Chain A
Amino acid sequence: MLYQNYIRVLYIDLNSKKIRFEHREDLCEYIGGSGVSSKLFSELVKYGADPLAPEQPVVFAIGPMSTIFPVCTKAVCSFFSPQTGEYGESHAGGRLAMAIRLANTDAIVITGRAESPVYITIKPDDIIFHDAEALWDLKVSESGQYMRAMAGAPGNRSIIRIGPAGANLVPTACINVDTYRHFGRLGAGAVFGSKNLKGLVICGEKDFTIKNPAEYNKIYSEIYDKATKTTLMAKYHELGTPKNVLPLNKINALPAYNLKKSNYEFAEKISGEAFAEEVLQRKVSCSGCPIGCVHVGGLRKLFDAGYEYESNGVSYDHELVFSLGSQLGIKNTTGVLNLINETEEVGLDAISCGVILGFMTEALERGDISVSETLVDLKFGDIDRYLEAIRHIAVPPNGFYRDIGRGLFNFTAKKGGGAYQYALQLGGLEISGYFTGPAHLIGGMTGIRHSHLDNAGYSIDQKLLKDAANLSAKTIAEKIVAEEVVRSVYTSLVICLFAREVYDLETVCRALSTIDIKKTPEELNAVSSKILRNKLDIRAKMGFDLKNYPLASRYFETPSPYGLIKKEFTDEIIGHYKELIGRI
Chain B
Amino acid sequence: MTRKLTSPAMSKCILCYSCMLACARVNYRSHSVTRCALKIRTAGGMSGKYAADICRSCERPTCAYVCPTGAMAAKDGGGARLIKSKCIGCQKCVEACKINYLQFDDELKLPLMCTHCGICVKFCPHGCIKISEPKDGNGGEI
A, B assembled together: yes
CA distance A206 to B34 in the complex (A): 8
Choose one: A179, A208, A216, A292; the contact of B46 (CB below 8 Å): A179
Contacts of B17 in A (CB 8 A): 98, 285, 287-288
B137 at the interface (CB under 8 A from A): no
Name B10-29 residues within 8 Å CB distance of A. 11, 14-18, 21, 25-26, 29
Q: Are A98 and B33 in contact (CB under 8 A)?
A: yes
Contacts of A101 in B (CB 8 A): 32
CB distance from B45 to the nearest CB of A (A): 6
Q: Are B16 and A208 in contact (CB under 8 A)?
A: no
Choose one: A206, A217, A224; the contact of B18 (CB below 8 Å): A224
Contacts of A287 in B (CB 8 A): 15-17, 33
Chain A, residues 67-102, CB within 8 Å of chain B (1/0): the string is 110100000000000000000000000110010011
Q: Please count how many residues in chain B sit with their CB below 8 Å of the partner chain's CB atoms.
A: 24
CA distance A235 to B33 in the complex (A): 28
CB distance from A1 to the nearest CB of B (A): 12
Assuming A179-B47, A284-B15, is B29 touching A102 (CB within 8 A)?
Answer: no
Chain A, residues 196-217, CB within 8 Å of chain B (1/0): the string is 0000000011111110010011
Contacts of A479 in B (CB 8 A): none
Measured as residues with beta carbon below 8 angstroms from the partner, the interface class of chain A is: 35 or more
CB distance from B54 to the nearest CB of A (A): 17
Contacts of A68 in B (CB 8 A): 21, 31
Q: Are A179 and B31 in contact (CB under 8 A)?
A: no
Name A486-501 residues within 8 Å CB distance of B. none
B125 at the interface (CB under 8 A from A): yes
Contacts of B107 in A (CB 8 A): 207
Assuming A210-B30, A217-B26, is B35 touching A290 (CB within 8 A)?
Answer: no
A422 at the interface (CB under 8 A from B): no
Q: Are A284 and B29 in contact (CB under 8 A)?
A: no
Q: Are B46 and A180 in contact (CB under 8 A)?
A: yes
Contacts of B46 in A (CB 8 A): 94-95, 178-180, 284
Assuming A155-B34, A179-B47, A207-B35, is B29 touching A289 (CB within 8 A)?
Answer: no
CB distance from A65 to the nearest CB of B (A): 10
Choose one: A102, A179, A296; the contact of B32 (CB below 8 Å): A102
Choose one: B16, B26, B33; the contact of A290 (CB below 8 Å): B16
A220 at the interface (CB under 8 A from B): yes
A313 at the interface (CB under 8 A from B): yes
CB distance from B83 to the nearest CB of A (A): 23
Chain A, residues 207-251, CB within 8 Å of chain B (1/0): the string is 111100100110010001000100000000000000000000000
A156 at the interface (CB under 8 A from B): yes
Q: Are A207 and B34 in contact (CB under 8 A)?
A: yes
Chain A, residues 146-160, CB within 8 Å of chain B (1/0): the string is 001000000110010
Name A335-366 residues within 8 Å CB distance of B. none
Assuming A156-B33, A205-B34, A210-B31, is B47 touching A290 (CB within 8 A)?
Answer: no
Name B45-80 residues within 8 Å CB distance of A. 45-47
CA distance A424 to B46 in the complex (A): 34
A283 at the interface (CB under 8 A from B): yes
CB distance from B104 to the nearest CB of A (A): 12
Assuming A98-B17, A102-B34, A283-B14, is B125 touching A290 (CB within 8 A)?
Answer: yes
Q: Are A284 and B14 in contact (CB under 8 A)?
A: yes
Name which residue of chain A comes closest to B30, CB basis: A207
Q: Are A288 and B45 in contact (CB under 8 A)?
A: no
B binding-site residues for A, Cβ under 8 Å: 11, 14-18, 21, 25-26, 29-35, 44-47, 107, 123, 125-126
Taking A213-B29, A284-B14, A286-B16 as given, write out 19 further A-B residue pairs in contact, using a Cβ cutoff of 8 Å, ordered by the A residue number. A2-B31, A67-B33, A95-B46, A156-B33, A179-B45, A180-B46, A206-B32, A206-B34, A207-B35, A208-B32, A210-B25, A213-B25, A220-B25, A284-B46, A285-B15, A285-B16, A290-B123, A290-B125, A292-B16
A-B contact pairs, 27 of them (CB 8 A): A67-B21, A67-B31, A67-B33, A70-B18, A98-B33, A102-B34, A148-B45, A155-B34, A179-B47, A205-B34, A206-B32, A209-B29, A210-B30, A216-B25, A217-B26, A220-B25, A284-B15, A285-B16, A285-B17, A287-B15, A288-B16, A288-B18, A289-B16, A290-B14, A290-B18, A290-B125, A292-B16
